[in-house]
Structure 1
């Protein structure tokens, strides 16, 4: 229900509704014998427009049928009301709708056919200057079509920019984690190689000093030996803690990828015992999830994408599935081929299938 209300609030939909409401006011100038048929045709056109505007993108066939019906109803009103000008406005609305589902060539071809039919009707009714009226209509239709076309291009560019920005943020998160791990490893090596080596040498010298009868009875020597031993143990513990990295923060990177997408919602579950320290493995997992997010949004119309990463025996298991429904069945295109190549490069195994709802399911196993 909420997606439908959101579509109703879109500027283009609101403009169409207000235009149809304004057009209905012109029906009061019609003769009584024509008014019922014209009113019924306009109501049917309005219903077709609402179906077209509010239906989900997966209803492609229904939206095309509504578009054909709207074209026929506009020409019917041109036949019934040649003097009022209702059909001209409805054809402008029709072109604005057609831009959303037809190719530019398809829109131009269909608009030319409709305008030729409109011109023929004007000639039949003896309307003065039918060619001039038709050319004026074509100008308004072109303006409406171009406005909608560039508005859609702008939205697509904005969405693409948001995805690229999310990709950069996710990659930056992985690089930052990788840089921190590298710095921890460098500090651990420095402590072990420099401070540990010198403390070991000092401890040996203190032991040799304590073996001398002159200094053996001195408390200062004994305390120095004890402190050097404790300090060496402390440095070893610090070095071990620095080497025990928790791995790259894959969860934050994946959530950054999904953040700009209005749907699907990401249901992410990463087991606590999963630790990924190799940036190449983390980046491959990130790209696999990214491709699944894109497929779920574009091809399956999914509301939720479930991602789980767990450990099974000596392997890592990545399970991804959405609650959408693939149109035309499962076909392995460039995106899925890229996933298969990434998995093969890591020495893993990929299995594809359908989720319980008919969406896509991936089961990836990688060496831990």
Structure 2
């Protein structure tokens, strides 16, 4: 129960729908308390219908992305509508049509706008037709027109919400790409500065120390006595200093690696509701900036695809090197479809890998799995 409350608190739209249903149920049960005896006998059936409706409403929201059109979700939606009609046939209260207003808001996740409008029209006609026939309601046409406007408003607001969610995910993906590119550029600038310092140490200080050592060697040959010994000591110190400079230059050149883990951390930190487990067994060298950028963007595309379509809670990432090149494996624990649909995200991954002359495979096995391989031609071997 505590987990359910926590989940509802994180989904304000669901909480609003649940609250509305509970209010309608409460008013209906309160009306039944003072209703004629023939209605009181159906109190338990009314409670059951509201319970089924509410359970289906929550289950549809918890069952990941409604755009997948899975049979289980369609079944829940139909059962939810049946529960609403059951309430209509059990108690003669006009405001129970609010249940179908909530229902069409969920229907819009499954169908296009035109089809949603068509189905909604049929539901309204059936609802108020039954109300007129079963309860001898008057002014049914006026009520149908009034509640029809509410249904239309619900549908349009639902589509606007979906559009806002898609735009939000798109902005988040672009923002993550910008952040990763920014960190990549910062790391590249830092490593380029280290390279410049190493080059200056080698070209300037190393050159002067070499010249100094040679001059001291010549001076040692032309000196005698105590002066010769001191010149020899100075030449020895110059050689030690030159050796230290060379070691420093070598150390600066050997550590020319991009901190790929740090870049990934900045991406993962901005992902809502997705736990990322990563294993990075390599780093990228300064020569591989373009490759690192492509890999980062592919990872971002995969994570965004997981958030948008799979309903997964975990994302698994592994990056490592072998003799044949760089390998990147990604997977999630989301829902598996019978057929993989290639949208902008998956096509973007394929294009980036193709541009780098790599290979990519997509598999549907207990979630989406993506395996990328970049050839050794574009991957510098580890020292």
Query: The TM-score by the shorter chain falls in which range?
Result: 0.7 to 0.9
Matches of 1:128 and 1:15 in 2, distance apart? Answer: 31
Matches of 2:308 and 2:298 in 1, distance apart? Answer: 16
Q: 1:361 to 1:314 in 2, by over 3 A?
A: closer
Matches of 1:354 and 1:70 in 2, distance apart? Answer: 30
Deviation track 1:215-243 (CA, whole Å, cap 9, x = no partner) reads 88344423332222222112111111111
Q: 1:35 to 1:70 in 2, by over 3 A?
A: farther
Measure how far apart 1:57 and its partner are.
2.2
Measure how far apart 1:150 and its partner are.
3.8
| Residues 331 and 370 in structure 2, CA contact (< 8 A), matched pair in contact too | yes
Q: Number of residues paired by the alignment?
A: 365
Task: Say if 2:254 is the partner of 1:209.
Answer: no
Select the structure with the greater relative contact order (CA < 8 A; seq sep ≥ 6).
2
Matches within 5 A, 1:97-246: 97-124=106-133, 125-213=135-223, 217-246=227-256
Matches within 5 A, 1:353-364: 353-355=363-365, 357-364=366-373
1:319 match: secondary structure: strand
Measure how far apart 1:198 and its partner are.
1.8
Matches within 5 A, 1:1-368: 4-9=4-9, 10-24=11-25, 25-26=27-28, 27-28=31-32, 29-37=34-42, 40-41=45-46, 43-54=48-59, 55-57=62-64, 60-82=70-92, 84-124=93-133, 125-213=135-223, 217-271=227-281, 274-277=283-286, 278-313=288-323, 315-330=325-340, 334-355=344-365, 357-367=366-376, 368=379
Deviation track 1:148-183 (CA, whole Å, cap 9, x = no partner) reads 444444444444433332222222111111111111
Measure how far apart 1:307 and its partner are.
1.8
Deviation track 1:256-275 (CA, whole Å, cap 9, x = no partner) reads 22222234422211225x44
Matches of 2:97 and 2:249 in 1, distance apart? Answer: 80
Q: 1:199 to 1:166 in 2, by over 3 A?
A: same
Moved more, 325-334 or 235-244: 325-334
Deviation track 1:115-166 (CA, whole Å, cap 9, x = no partner) reads 2233434544543332222222223333444444444444444444333322
Task: For structure 1, list consecutive stretches of 5 or more residues without a partner in the other structure.
Answer: none
1:33 match: secondary structure: helix
Matches of 2:356 and 2:19 in 1, distance apart? Answer: 57
| Residues 50 and 87 in structure 2, CA contact (< 8 A), matched pair in contact too | no
Q: 1:31 to 1:103 in 2, by over 3 A?
A: farther
Q: 1:139 to 1:95 in 2, by over 3 A?
A: same
Task: For structure 2, list consecutive stretches of 5 or more residues without a partner in the other structure.
Answer: none
Matches of 1:330 and 1:146 in 2, distance apart? Answer: 29
Matches of 1:349 and 1:100 in 2, distance apart? Answer: 35
Moved more, 184-193 or 218-227: 218-227
Deviation track 1:274-301 (CA, whole Å, cap 9, x = no partner) reads 4433101111211222232233333443
Structure-1-length-normalised TM-score: 0.84
Matches of 2:361 and 2:268 in 1, distance apart? Answer: 23
Matches of 1:223 and 1:262 in 2, distance apart? Answer: 65
| TM-align CA RMSD | 3.1
Matches of 2:80 and 2:359 in 1, distance apart? Answer: 51
